Structure 1
C-alpha cells in the first residue's frame, strides 16, 4: 500500500521532508479495525512531530504520522464488536502507532466513531482530533454541567484555530456558557463570531479587552495556544475557584503557587492519553465521537472545514503542513484521497 512519511526531521521546504513509499497492508487483530482511508486532516501536532521525531537521526523506515481520518472498515480483528465491514468511520488515532498518512490504517475500535451521516467526507475529516480535544477539555476535565454552570464565562485562547472553533460551539450550544474567544485579524474575529462566540477580544491586550466587555475575570480558561506566554495573565483573570485547561506545553516550569490563593484548578488535556495508556475508560472516545456525530447530524454544531486539497500526494501534504506552520490558518485543512 502507498504511504507518505519521513526519515529525518527537515524543513517543509526540503525535498525529502515527506517521501512516498510502499509498505505491506497490515492485518487487524484484537480490537483493531483495518480502515481504507478516504480523507485526512492536518493539525499542529502533525508538523510539531515531523519537526522533532527524527531531528538528530535518520530512520531506517519512514515514520508515518497523521491523526485525523475518515475511512471505510475493510476487515476486523477478533475482539471487535462495535463495527462491521463497510461502515464509514472517523477517528483521531493513536500517537504511538502508524498514522493516517497512508492508504490503510489499523485503529483500535474503542477510539473510533461512526462518521456523521449528513456531512461530506471532508467535513467529517475536519472534526475528530479537535472535537475530542474540545469536548474532553470542557466535559471531562472541567466537567461543565449545562444547568449548574449556565451563563458562566469561558475564555478560549485561539478561538479561530481548529480546537477553538469546536470549543466555541460546544461551550455555547451544549455547555450553556458565555463564550469569550481571542482573535486579532478581521477574518479570525468574524470566524469566532460565526462559530457562536458572545464576545471576541484581542489577545494582545487581554486584560484591558476583558475589562472593556465587563468580564475582568472569567470562570474557565481554555488555553489552545501558549500557556507559558499567558501564564501570569491567566492567573490574574481567572476567578476564585475557577478552572484552567491547557493543551500546550511549557518549556519552563510553571509557578503553580500563583493559583493557590484563589484555589484554582489546573488540568492538562491530551487527547492521546486514553489510547497511549489503554485507560480503563478508553472507549469513552468512541462514545464522544458518536455524540459529536449526532450533534453535527442534527445541525447543533457545524464542521470547521475551511480548505480541501484533492489527492493523497506529497505535494498536498507539504502544502497542508506549510499552512499549519504559518500559524494563520482558520478552521481545518483536509486532504481528500
Structure 2
C-alpha cells in the first residue's frame, strides 16, 4: 500500500510517500480502507520529535491520527462492524498511523461515519471532536447555562469546541484575530474577543470553564476570569497547580484517549445538525509536505484534510 512514513525525527523532508506493507490485523481489529485523513499540529510535533519523551516509536513509522473510510476486513472477534461499513476513527497513537491506504484499528476505537458527511468532512472530526469532548464534558462537566471561554476559536479544536459547548446549552465566549471574528460568530459564539483590539481579562469574569489551547501567559491570565470552583482545562501544557489552589479552581491537562463510544455520541450530534465540520483545505496525500508546511504556519483556517485516493 502507499503511505507516508518518517525514518528519522526532523523537518518536512523526512515525510516520504512510498510503498509499504499493509498493517497486520489483530483479532479485535477492523481493517479500514482509508478514503481521507487529516493533518493536526500533533502530527508535525511528533515528526519533529517534540513528544519523544512521552511517546516511543520504532522507525520507520506512519504518522496520522484521523481516518474515515470503508471496512474491508474484520478480525475474528469483531462484533460491532462488518465489511462494507463506512466508519471514522481516531486510532491508538502508538500503532500504525492513518497517512496510508489502509489502517488496522481496534473496533472499540471506531464509530459509524455520520451519514450526512463526506469522507473528507468525517476525517476532519475524530481528533478535534474527542479532544473537545474529553476537555469540556469529561473534565469540566459542562452543563446548560455554563459560561465558557474557548481560546483560539477559529482553530481546528476551538471551532469544534464552540459548537459542542453550544449543543450543551452553554454561553460561549471565544478569542480570535480580527479576520476570523465573523467566522466564529457563525459557529454560535455569543461573545467574540478580537485579541488584536481587546484583552479578554478586561471584558470577561465569573466564567465556569476556560478551555486553553494556547498555554503560556494566556493560560496564566485565564485564571483571573474564572469563578471560584470553576475549571481550567488545557491541551497546551500542565496548569500551575499552586495557582489553581490559590484561585480555588480545578485545573488540568488533557491528552486525548481514543474512544469509539464518544465518537458515536459526536456522530449523533452531527447527524442532528448541531455540529458541522470545518474543512478549510483538501489536498492529496502525496502532497503531505505542503500540508505540513501549511499546518506549521498556525494560520490554516479549518482542518487540513488529505484525500488518500
TM-score normalised over the length of structure 2: 0.92
Q: CA RMSD in A?
A: 2.0
CA distance in 2, matches of 1:88, 1:47: 28
CA distance in 2, matches of 1:113, 1:31: 14
Instruction: Give the superposition deviation at 1:79.
Output: 1.9
CA distance in 2, matches of 1:61, 1:259: 40
Tell me: CA distance 1:190–1:54, structure 2 relative to 1, closer, same or farther (3 Å). Answer: closer
Match of 1:18 in 2: 15
Match of 1:279 in 2: none
Match of 2:206 in 1: 217
What are the ranges of 5 or more consecutive residues in structure 1 without an aligned counterpart?
276-284
Q: Is the 8 A contact 1:132 1:289 kept in 2?
A: yes
Instruction: Give the superposition deviation at 1:204.
Output: 5.7
Match of 2:125 in 1: 127
Match of 1:243 in 2: 231
Instruction: Give the superposition deviation at 1:80.
Output: 1.2
Aligned length: 304
Match of 2:285 in 1: 312
Per-residue deviation, residues 58-82 of structure 1 (Å, max 9, x unmatched): x984221100110111111122111
CA distance in 2, matches of 1:140, 1:298: 21
Which residue, out of 25, 41, 47, partners 1:50? Answer: 47
CA distance in 2, matches of 1:160, 1:115: 24
Instruction: Give the superposition deviation at 1:210.
Output: 4.8
Per-residue deviation, residues 66-117 of structure 1 (Å, max 9, x unmatched): 0011011111112211110110110111111110011111111111110011
What are the ranges of 5 or more consecutive residues in structure 2 without an aligned counterpart?
none
1:172 aligns with 2:166: yes
Per-residue deviation, residues 169-212 of structure 1 (Å, max 9, x unmatched): 01012x211100110132x2222111110011134676x44534
Match of 1:158 in 2: 152
1:325 aligns with 2:296: yes
Match of 1:3 in 2: 3
Match of 2:264 in 1: 290
Match of 1:282 in 2: none
Which residue, out of 170, 181, 186, partners 1:194? Answer: 186
Tell me: CA distance 1:128–1:328, structure 2 relative to 1, closer, same or farther (3 Å). Answer: same
